[in-house]
Amino acid sequence: MTVPFVVCPNCGNGSDSGLELIDDFLMGKSMRCRICLFTFDAWMAYLATISHSHWFIRDMASSFVGYKTKNFSVLLAPGGTTEVNFQEHGVPEGSRIIRLIYTPNGPGLHPIELHSNEVPLRRGRGKFFLFGKSPYAPADALNQRPIKVSVYVVFTEIAADE
């Protein structure tokens, strides 16, 4: 999916994408939904997108104001700890993390973020640790294989003077 991305304010389906949407928004250009043929302007589409019921669609609209997304996977073992460094996956140092989602790509293992007594803020945090929590008894967990965990991060780069 190309970003920015907007949905039709009439039917809610994906309507258009690409950097030209920013120009369309600034110039007040009309758009037409390919699905329901409703005509609207880029501002209406942007408002429909940022209020969409699904967070992923809202994140796509956030690209209008500079948010970026990265998707990557890490390997996580039952009872093991995995260090994840954002910079190694294309998130610049010092970025403000807006959304962070861990999705296990297999059954029986839940990724849990580890931190000390002080919960780290999302600004400027360059790495985190995941622990592979198994819902099974410890003996059963030892027989489990590592799984991939998908990481979805929405971030915005922070200027050096901020």
pLDDT of 23-57, one tens digit each? 776 777 788 888 888 888 877 777 777 777 776 66
DSSP for the chain reads --SSEEE-TTT-SEEEESTHHHHHHHHT-EEE-TTT--EEEHHHHHHHHHT-SSHHHHHHHGGGGT-EEEEEEEEE-TT-EEEEEGGGGT--TTPEEEEEEEEESSTT-EEEEE--SSPPPSBT--EEEEEEE-SS-HHHHHTPPPEEEEEEEEEEPPPTT-
- pTM for the full predicted model: 0.63
pLDDT in tens, 100-150: 888 998 777 888 888 776 665 555 567 888 888 877 656 555 567 888 999
What single letter denotes the amino acid at residue 72? Answer: F
